A and B are shown apart, each in its own frame.
Chain A
Amino acid sequence: EDKVVQSPLSLVVHEGDTVTLNCSYEVTNFRSLLWYKQEKKAPTFLFMLTSSGIEKKSGRLSSILDKKELSSILNITATQTGDSAIYLCAEAASGTYKYIFGTGTRLKVLA
């Protein structure tokens, strides 16, 4: 069964800090990896990484896929209190469109 593991489980930083969140996956035939931000309600989409798109950036957020290490990182620079949320990673194997999620990293940014 495919598996996604995220670390750390939780993280507390101060505004302005840079954070790196980790996601590792075990999948027979990798197709894509997605990152989501979840505040109080539903997850909101951040990035999708594939073999043809291993690095994405949007503002202060960026993500890189390492297919050799079967992992991905999500970087957030100059953190703000509004970045406080749970960050979820999900992967899908080739041949299916089912996404398997990790348990998430809970990030708290202090003013």
Chain B
Amino acid sequence: DTGVSQDPRHKITKRGQNVTFRCDPISEHNRLYWYRQTLGQGPEFLTYFQNEAQLEKSRLLSDRFSAERPKGSFSTLEIQRTEQGDSAMYLCASSGNEAFFGQGTRLTVV
């Protein structure tokens, strides 16, 4: 494992459906981040974990979003009752000192 892996790479869903994304970090990294990026913007912080503990969560994150990292390894990000405004690239990163990103999951809500 040489990098951060995200699955799926693309997801198209109907409005109102729930979606779940997975992130597998670089194995020796204990911090894991979720970001959201829309066209023309930089990545927007959503949440981050140190091991299994969720240490910080953006105030912008609605209650429809939840993230877990149950054993301090992989993480999942779930969005419930998706809305068209949730369409974005969801990026996962992991870090020791520097943060490295996965290829992202592009979500389209139709």
Q: Which of A's residues lie within 8 Å of B, judged by CB?
A: 4, 34, 36, 41-45, 48, 88, 90, 96-104
Contact = CB atoms under 8 A, between A and B. Distances in A.
A34 B103 CA distance: 18
Interface of B: 31, 33, 35, 40-45, 48, 50, 55-56, 91, 95, 97-104
Given A41-B104, A45-B99, A103 B41 contact: yes
User: Is chain B's binding surface mostly helix, strand, loop or mixed?
Assistant: strand
Contacts of A102: 42
B48 A97 contact: yes
A90 B95 CA distance: 14
Contact of B42 (A44, A88, A96, A98): A88
B33 A43 contact: no
Contact of A42 (B45, B95, B98, B103): B103
A41 B10 CA distance: 12
B48 A42 contact: no
Given A42-B91, A97-B95, A98-B48, A103 B42 contact: yes
B43 A48 contact: no
Nearest to A50: B97
A98 B45 contact: yes
B65 to A, nearest CB: 16
Nearest to A43: B101
A48 B42 contact: no
Given A101-B35, A101-B42, 15 more contacts: A34-B98, A34-B99, A36-B101, A41-B104, A42-B103, A43-B43, A45-B100, A88-B42, A97-B48, A97-B55, A98-B45, A98-B48, A101-B43, A102-B42, A103-B41
Contact of B31 (A42, A88, A97, A104): A97
A65 to B, nearest CB: 15
B97 A42 contact: no
